[in-house]
Amino acid sequence: MVVRLRAPDTAGPRSPRSSCLCRRSPEPFTRWGVDQLFFSTTDARGVIRHSNNVFIELSRYRRDELSGAPHNIIRHPEMPGGAFKAMWDTLKTGSPFAAYVRNLAADGSEYDVFATVTPLSDGGYLSVRTRPVCSDLFDTACAIYSDARAVEDEAIHAGANRRAAAEEGLNRIAEKLAGAGLSSYEEFQNTALPLEVARREELSDGTPVRPGATGDLRVMLDSVTRIAAGLDSWMSGQQQLAELSASLKAAGKGLTRTLEDPRLNSAHISALDRSDPRVKPLADLLDLWTQMQGLVSPLVARLVDTLAQLDTNGARTRFRIALARLHATITSLFTVELIDGVGDPQYSAQAIPDLIESLREGIAEMERQTQAHSALAAQAVAYIGEASRMMTIPNQLLMLWTGSAASSDPELPATAAELSSAASGVVESVGRRLAELDDLAARCQAAHVADNFAELREALDSFTTAAGAVAPS
């Protein structure tokens, strides 16, 4: 699935210190390939406790300089405070976060990343960053950040403190995301992460293969490879569900528009001359339709809301799968480092327990979301069935009228003739919308939803046991 966003209009106030985030970072990406994943963990206060070799290389800091330092040591001054407020607001809910970020290295060079941050059970955080590879999303983010930073600079220039300025920046980010067709920052990250991960994997050389690995290290590599394959299969099924969900949402909104057709409003219907024998049969039918509409419209509103929840749940599931795929990838890279004996085995081994925790929680959350999907799909099917039953008789009666000679009587008064014509169109549209919803709901309910939780957990258990056996003392 490809999602394209239109770049927002970034015209707006500019402060004396203009941001330049819209320009491309001068970081020579040829030195940072898509297979190099940037990894770190921090404590609850954001103090770095672990970093991998890619972090050290890109940040231009030594490991001893990073260890114990605040993670914002690499914060670029052009990044808006609103972006980090969005991050902390999300993390405080216990949910992971993803965003495009420009960082500043120790030597003054700049580099862009797509960053993910995942809360850990001890209050700390695990972060995996990649090279951005979806240029349309990256450009949209940079334009929004540049605008938000200008707003923040202007607020500070006017006397606001940095916390208040960050709040204004976050509000501007939300405003610009809406202009780009997104309802919230969550929707942006739920869109961006799966696309970034999928594109990175397309460009990647794949997980390194080590046929000569033996013992527990062999078990570790085989197990994480099984996890990655299971997640890939899961994502494939989710893409089909995403297309069905989007179609369901569109059909639900279409039914709402049909039921609210302004030509069949109660004022027009009540104005009919019921003393006219040519008009009365139509007026009686339209009265029945109006009564039905009053009963079914709230039901359809609940249906539309359920379909929106189904769509959101699917997006959250794809986000979680993509995050787990990223965590599985870097877990395999740490495993390969242990097999090859490169880097610092102590640091590689120390990173793995946090990654195991993140993978385990990710699988558990995906299972919860899958159960929620099934419940929402069943609720949508029930609403569609109920709406169809309620509308059947009024719809059939109107169909009989519109197919009768009376409906085309040339002597029929103009107002009644207009309502008769409108009723014909509405009847046809309602029937088509209900049939479409019935078909889509059945396909959504019947679509394969990954149920390989046991296999994923078993593979992760095997990895965990083997990792414990090879951990350095």
Verify that 52 and 116 share a domain, yes or no: yes
Query: How confident is the model at residue 187, as a pLDDT?
Result: 94
Q: Note whether residue 24 is domain-resident.
A: no
Q: Note whether residue 287 is domain-resident.
A: yes
Verify that 148 and 294 share a domain, yes or no: no
| Count of structural domains, the chain | 2
Query: How confident is the model at residue 410, as a pLDDT?
Result: 87
For residue 262, name the pLDDT band (cuts at 50, 70, 90): confident
Query: Among residues of the chain, what percentage have pLDDT more than 70?
Result: 92
Q: Side by side, which strands form the sheet with 125-130?
A: 48-51, 38-42, 125-130, 110-119, 97-104
Q: What is the mean pLDDT of residues 167-191?
A: 93
Verify that 72 and 174 share a domain, yes or no: yes
* Listed residues 203, 236, 267: the one ending a domain: 203
- Gyration radius (Cα) of the chain, Å: 28
Query: How confident is the model at residue 472, as a pLDDT?
Result: 65
- Where residue 342 falls (left for φ over 0; alpha for ψ -120 to 50; beta otherwise) is beta
Q: Note whether residue 147 is domain-resident.
A: yes
What is the DSSP track for 215-268? HHHHHHHHHHHHHHHHHHHHHHHHHHHHHHHHHHHHHHHHHHHHHT-GGG-HHH
Residues 10, 187: Cα–Cα separation, whole Å: 20
Report the Cα 383 to chain-centroid distance in Å: 25
Verify that 141 and 265 share a domain, yes or no: no
* Listed residues 171, 203, 235: the one ending a domain: 203
Verify that 251 and 230 share a domain, yes or no: yes
pTM (2 d.p.): 0.86
What b/e readout covers 233-244, taking b as 16+ CB neighbours within 10 angstroms?
ebbebbeebbeb
For residue 180, name the pLDDT band (cuts at 50, 70, 90): confident
Verify that 64 and 97 share a domain, yes or no: yes
Amino acid at position 182, single letter:
L
For residue 7, name the pLDDT band (cuts at 50, 70, 90): very low
Q: What is the mean pLDDT of residues 111-137?
A: 95
Verify that 111 and 150 share a domain, yes or no: yes
Does residue 16 carry a pLDDT above 60?
Answer: no
Q: Note whether residue 9 is domain-resident.
A: no
Query: How confident is the model at residue 231, as a pLDDT?
Result: 92
Verify that 253 and 372 share a domain, yes or no: yes
Report the Cα 24 to chain-centroid distance in Å: 26
* Listed residues 203, 234, 256: the one ending a domain: 203
Q: Note whether residue 3 is domain-resident.
A: no
Verify that 298 and 441 share a domain, yes or no: yes
Q: Note whether residue 17 is domain-resident.
A: no
Verify that 223 and 328 share a domain, yes or no: yes
**Residue 41 belongs to domain with CATH number:** 3.30.450.20
Verify that 188 and 236 share a domain, yes or no: no
Verify that 185 and 219 share a domain, yes or no: no
Residues 327, 128: Cα–Cα separation, whole Å: 8
Structural domain boundaries, residue 318: 215-470
For residues 225 and 332, is the Cβ–Cβ distance under 8 A? yes
- Residue 436: both structure tokens together: 């479409």
Residues 4, 209: Cα–Cα separation, whole Å: 35
Q: Note whether residue 460 is domain-resident.
A: yes
Q: Note whether residue 18 is domain-resident.
A: no
Query: How confident is the model at residue 258, as a pLDDT?
Result: 85
